[in-house]
Structure 1
Amino acid sequence: MAAISTRQRFGARSTAARIGVWSGLAVITVWTLAPIAVMVFTSFKPSGEIFQIPPTLLPSDWTLENYVSVFTTSSMPQALRNSVVVGLLVALMTLTLGTSAGYALARISFRGARSISLFILLGQMVPLTVLLLALFRMINALGFNDTVVGVAMAHLVITLPLVTWMIRNQIAAIPYELEEAAMVDGCSRLDAFLYAVLPVAGPGLAASGMFAFLQSWHEFVLASVLTRSDESRTAPVALTEFATEFDVDWGATMAASVILTVPLVIAFVALQRYLVNGLTGGAVKG
């Protein structure tokens, strides 16, 4: 009887714990998704309904007027193209430089390797505003001011330090015996890297590239300082044109925000498996 009573008490505590965990997850989910729901539904409301009292979540008259305005009377289409180009350039440059540096830090032993690794991470600790003037002068001196290439080069400051560490951990988790076996079979070190290491590190590289793209996609401060014209302005900066000195077109702002969010959701769903595997693959060595 005592054993049965103990099991019942344990089962009751376990059930209560599960209820508590699921309740907490439900609260976090609602807290996270509520602003997104407001953004989406507001984008389908006519302007006169957005500020009605009492407020409503669902629009009574659904309209695509805000989306038509975004695509026909604003610079958002050009800005979206600029954001895609900048994001792809950032992902490509970050992977190229980060993979080279990450491989060197993971495989090549030299004096100061640990100090250099820690120094690279300092880039994540410096406030971005501290670097604005220096970055602006550097990009301007290179002749890339007010260009998508200049914005992409500036975004490397945000993406490269952490991506280098992510790739370093990925490569360090791959047994060096794979490269040794390839070199014994006649491969050079470069061939061993290309044919033995890269295929295994593929999920990590995909996760790193996606991380770099996402960081570039929603970056505002650097893009707002380095761009002036519609030919180079990115989407987060273009969002500001819906706000004037005395008014804000909230319907168009919400519609443009939805348009900015949809590509990220599609990319995450398409690459979710690689992202999860890549972020966790370097957690355990061996």
Structure 2
Amino acid sequence: MNRRVLATGTWIGIAVLAVWTLAPIAVMTATSLKPRDEIFAIPPALLPRTWTLDNYVEVFTNSSMPRAFLNSILAALLVTIMTILLCGSVGYALARFRFRSARPVALFILLGQMVPITVLLLPLYEMIGAMQLLDTIAGIGIAHLVITVPLVTWMIRNQIAAIPVELEEAVLIDGGSRFDAVTYVTLPVAAPGLAAAGMYAFLQSWHEFVLASVLTSTTSARTAPVALTEFASEYSVDWGSTMAASVVLSVPVVIAFIALQKYFVRGLASGGVKG
């Protein structure tokens, strides 16, 4: 009896969490398909009485969202590549090489995850400006490394540390180099963790707003989260276009997660190597 009550309570809790999570997405999607006169209709209705794609047409033909969408893709891909390369190298070194300050260095890197972005705005702005990368995709990508590097370094470090070093030593004994050991043994085994780390870096860059809004001033490098503010004026907000743009902004995230969910779950859950 107690087990049945516990199971029922668990399923009810899961259902409540699912509704709580999916309700904003349902409202966003439904609002994007409503004519403007129905968005504030009283009484409110979830589903539109008249379905329309006018809001999507507005987003793609009369706004900077298409360019901002492309900028977001380029910035997120750049951040993902740089994060994997940097954090993969550092994470491997922290996991495999023994030196006196290895743990303090690892803890110092993780400390960056605890610093609020607002504290780093002015230093990052000055640094990106000194590199003459303000209002560029490269400048945004470099700035976003502040968000991704600390946690991803630890994710990859723990992933590498869980792989028995004897696998690499076997390659070295057979005459292979360390590069061969990493390429043919470590990377294939750590692939799920690297995929999870790459997806995390992509998502962090994709929806980041504060740094992108400060480091860009024109549509040439403005990302999609910043471009969403284009639909709001001083006295009104075009909620239909805003919701349509939000749906468009969510599509790549959903596609990426569906395509990589197997690796993402395995990467987060893995703690060892199966023989």
5 Å matches for 1:101-140? 101-140=90-129
SS of the aligned residue for 1:229 comes to coil
Please point out which of 86, 89, 108 is paired with 1:97.
86
Q: In the TM superposition, what is the alpha-carbon distance from 1:285 to its structure 2 partner? A: 7.2
Aligned to 2:2: 13
TM value normalised by structure 2: 0.98
Please point out which of 196, 216, 224 is paired with 2:205.
216
Q: In the TM superposition, what is the alpha-carbon distance from 1:280 to its structure 2 partner? A: 1.2
Write the letter of the residue equivalent to 2:66.
P
Aligned to 2:28: 39
Aligned to 1:165: 154
Please give the per-residue CA displacement for 1:117-159, whole angstroms capped at 9, x wherever unaligned.
Answer: 1000000000000000000000000011100000000000000
Aligned to 1:85: 74
SS of the aligned residue for 2:51 comes to coil
Bigger radius of gyration among the two: 1
Contact 1:123 1:161 in 2 (8 A): yes
Contact 2:163 2:272 in 1 (8 A): no
Task: Determine whether 1:264 maps to 2:253.
Answer: yes
**2-structure distance, mates of 1:216, 1:146:** 16
Q: In the TM superposition, what is the alpha-carbon distance from 1:230 to its structure 2 partner? A: 0.6
Aligned to 2:59: 70
What's the RMSD between the two structures over aligned residues? Answer: 0.9
**2-structure distance, mates of 1:183, 1:276:** 31
Q: Sequence identity, in percent?
A: 65
Q: Quickly say closer, same or farther: Cα 1:270–1:285, change in 2 above 3 A.
A: closer
SS of the aligned residue for 2:99 comes to coil
5 Å matches for 1:235-250? 235-250=224-239
**2-structure distance, mates of 1:101, 1:247:** 48
Aligned to 2:37: 48
Write the letter of the residue equivalent to 2:207.
H
**2-structure distance, mates of 1:106, 1:131:** 28
Q: In the TM superposition, what is the alpha-carbon distance from 1:258 to its structure 2 partner? A: 0.3
Q: In the TM superposition, what is the alpha-carbon distance from 1:99 to its structure 2 partner? A: 0.3
5 Å matches for 1:134-153? 134-153=123-142
Write the letter of the residue equivalent to 2:223.
T
Q: In the TM superposition, what is the alpha-carbon distance from 1:14 to its structure 2 partner? A: 1.2
TM value normalised by structure 1: 0.95
Please give the per-residue CA displacement for 1:196-217, whole angstroms capped at 9, x wherever unaligned.
Answer: 1111111111111111000000
Write the letter of the residue equivalent to 2:57.
V
Q: List gaps (5 residues or longer) in structure 2.
A: none
Contact 1:172 1:285 in 2 (8 A): no
Aligned to 1:6: none
**2-structure distance, mates of 1:171, 1:262:** 32
5 Å matches for 1:221-240? 221-240=210-229
Please give the per-residue CA displacement for 1:38-59, whole angstroms capped at 9, x wherever unaligned.
Answer: 0000000000000010000000
Please point out which of 253, 268, 276 is paired with 2:265.
276
Q: In the TM superposition, what is the alpha-carbon distance from 1:187 to its structure 2 partner? A: 1.1
Q: List gaps (5 residues or longer) in structure 1.
A: 1-11
